[in-house]
Amino acid sequence: MKVEYISSKEQMLIAENLYNITDSIEAAKRLEEECGIKITYGKSVELRDFARKLDKTKFFNWEIEKAIEKHSGHKIRLRDL
């Protein structure tokens, strides 16, 4: 299976989308404080690992899947991870 990566910019856009705010830095801070998911600027991470971490948060699966597809272009099903 091919390993797909997601950039820090895409991670921040996903966080913005999940929190429904337009400030990337604030969204990244909230994600770290509330969920323990740290976005390291300039560093890409494996998409599956990022999605698994988001799956353990308060957000609905459909919200996460929709945000990931919208900002990274990768269609993912959390239930299949």
Which H helix or E strand runs over 6?
Answer: strand 5-6
Backbone angles phi and psi of 58, in degrees to 5: -75, -10
Please give the pLDDT value at position 1: 64
Direct distance between the N- and C-terminal alpha carbons of the chain, in angstroms, rounded to an integer:
13
pLDDT in tens, 24-59: 899 999 999 999 999 988 899 999 999 999 999 999
